[in-house]
Amino acid sequence: MSRSLVQPCRPPGALALTDGSRVYTRPIRPADRNALADAFARLSARSRYLRFLGPKHNLSARELTYLTDVDHVTHEAIVAFDEDDRMVGVARYAAWPESADTADVAVTVADDWHGRGLGSALTARVVECARANGIERLTGTTLWENAPAAALLRRLGFRAVGSSDGAVDFRLDLAAA
């Protein structure tokens, strides 16, 4: 299937969180490499472990390119910046290489921004983008011990579809949602 998108599915804008704080959100750009690297460096080892399903000490130059130079159709990422212009969250989907109609979703939120609704808001926006771009299903995997991530996915309509090696797999059929 061929897809094209003239404009990002979600325009930039302010987002009010559950605690009253505000962030600015927009689609990620290649120029965000340094901001993403800085945001990753500020994450605790525990947050990195939960996000990457194992130890992760740094992002390589290749990973930074992959994570910031996206086509906004088969791979989208929405980022959030605080009032000091620091990246504090990112949610993304990336289509599976073998099936462009299915994409994996992931979210990362700075430790000091947990519990404010940022992860839920960013992930909901990415789900909207996936639907607008013709993605038919989203998948996500989290560790069993990451109850907040599992709860976030369930709130957005994802259903557990399997588990192995301490991780649980979720799926959301966008056509049915």
Spatial distance between the Cα atoms of 106 and 102, rounded to a whole number of angstroms:
13
Question: Given this model, what pLDDT does residue 177 score?
Answer: 54
Question: Given this model, what pLDDT does residue 6 score?
Answer: 40
Output the pTM of the full model.
0.91
The three-point CA angle 35-60-25 to 5° equals 25
- The domains of the chain, with CATH numbers, are 13-137 (3.40.630.30)
Quote the longest CA-to-CA distance of the chain.
42
Question: Given this model, what pLDDT does residue 175 score?
Answer: 82
Tens digits of residue pLDDT in 78-99 = 999 999 999 999 999 999 888 8
Residues of the chain with pLDDT under 50: 1-2, 5-7
What lies within 8 Å, CB to CB, of 8 at 6+ separation is 26, 27, 72, 76, 129
Question: Given this model, what pLDDT does residue 8 score?
Answer: 57
Residue 45: enclosing H or E segment and its boundaries?
Answer: helix 45-52
